[in-house]
Amino acid sequence: ETLGVIGFPFSKGQPRNGTEHGPNVLREAGIITSLQSLGVNVIDHGDIEIEVVLRDEPMKNVRNPRTVAAANKKLSDAVAKLVKMNQSVLALGGDHCMAIGSIHGHAQVEPNLVVVWVDAHADVNTPLTSVSGNIHGMPLSFLLKELEEFVPKVPGFEWCKPCLSVRDLVYIGLRDVDPAERLIIEKFGIHAYSMQEVDKYGIKEVVERALNQVDPSGVRPIHVSFDVDAMDPTLTPATGTPVSGGLSLRESFYLAEEISNTGRLSVLDIAEVNPLLSTEDKRKLTVINTTDVSTKFYGYRRQG
């Protein structure tokens, strides 16, 4: 089994500079060597080359549409290529708009995939419901077939055909969902385990129920889109939209270990590490905790 690592040094899905440094600070922290020390055959394919799109005027309130679209098209092609070569893919972000390219690319090769979205946020605003206009809050609206009729054409995204059904998506970690997102989740019955459910059932039950709902027969390829703001901000403070009351380190480890135990983790996104948003020691803490969770996704076992 080969793990292909792709860097997505990108920040234009949101207004805070810094997520473009995510891939490199994770590499500098030794994420590649940590994975190799697990016996994983890791190939670092470098970074997606981000092109500057001039005069990328907002479309209604959607910021940087063409820049976000062009970068994610490249990511989609890169992920598809690696999955086609039977590699597992670790995509290092970069802000969470990266999920558009990563999931789209994965779905071109594995249309039967399911998505586990680990995040404080639902990231399912459409360009019309978004209050901020930041595409990192909208990625799922570009991917979900059931939302296609509600999503206006956004310049640059002509390539992005929706490829995911709401029944193949499950959320874990929600605690800051916009009213419109709440409506969408309820209208389409999207499976969602907020931090309230994590407290109510415990992480073991939540992970079991989540996987059983999207993949009861336990055969489908899994795409995990992991926003580091799903974890408690005391653990990953270097991120753009921190929300208190997040997943503990042990809950994050357990989730990652259980996903790893399925043997069907195909693509993992690590999104929203922003080293510029905090002090040096908080950056270090964020990167170390993110790396520690990542190794559990790829076979590190606390019991040895």
> Quick check: is 229 catalytic?
yes
Ranges assigned E (strand) in the chain: 2-8, 41-47, 88-93, 114-118, 169-174, 191-194, 222-227, 265-271
CA 174 to CA 170: how far, in whole Å? 11
Smallest distance from the beta carbon of 233 to Mn ion, in angstroms? 10
Partner whose binding site includes residue 125, from Mn ion, ligand 1EE, none (CB under 5 to 8 Å by kind): ligand 1EE
Measure Cα distances from 190 to 60, 94, 116, 165, 301 in Å: 27, 26, 12, 10, 31
CA 79 to CA 4: how far, in whole Å? 9
Binding of residue 125 to ligand 1EE (CB under 6 A): yes
Give me Rg for the CA atoms of the chain.
Answer: 17
Candidate list 44, 47, 110, 119; residue touching ligand 1EE; CB under 6 A: 119
Looking at 105-113, 129-137, 158-166, 251-259, which segment touches ligand 1EE (CB under 6 A)?
Answer: 129-137
| Pick 179 or 216: Cβ nearer ligand 1EE | 179
| Pick 34 or 239: Cβ nearer ligand 1EE | 239
Looking at 16-24, 64-72, 119-127, 217-225, which segment touches ligand 1EE (CB under 6 A)?
Answer: 119-127
> Quick check: is 199 catalytic?
no
At residue 231, the 3 state secondary structure works out as strand
Binding mask 199-228 for ligand 1EE (x = CB under 6 A): ----------------------------x-
Candidate list 46, 131, 200, 244; residue touching ligand 1EE; CB under 6 A: 131
Smallest distance from the beta carbon of 122 to ligand 1EE, in angstroms? 7
DSSP 218: S
Structure tokens at 294: 């990542």
Between the CA atoms of 167, 128, 65 and 106, what dihedral angle is there, to the nearest 10 degrees? 0
Cα 272–chain centre separation? 8
> Which residue type, as a one-letter code, is found at position 134?
N
Footprint (CB under 6 A) of ligand 1EE, residues 81-100: 96
Binding residues (CB under 5 A) for Mn ion: these are: 96, 119-121, 123, 227, 229, 240-241, 272
- The answer to whether the beta carbons of residues 116 and 30 sit under 8 Å apart is no
At residue 29, the 3 state secondary structure works out as coil
Question: Counting beta carbons within 10 angstroms of the beta carbon of residue 158, is it exposed (0 to 12), middle (13 to 18) or buried (19 or more)?
Answer: exposed
Binding of residue 123 to ligand 1EE (CB under 6 A): yes
Partner whose binding site includes residue 77, from ligand 1EE, Mn ion, none (CB under 5 to 8 Å by kind): none
Residues annotated as part of the active site: 96, 119, 121, 123, 136, 227, 229, 272
Residues that bind ligand 1EE (CB under 6 A): 96, 119, 121, 123, 125, 130-132, 134, 136-137, 178, 227, 229, 240-241, 272
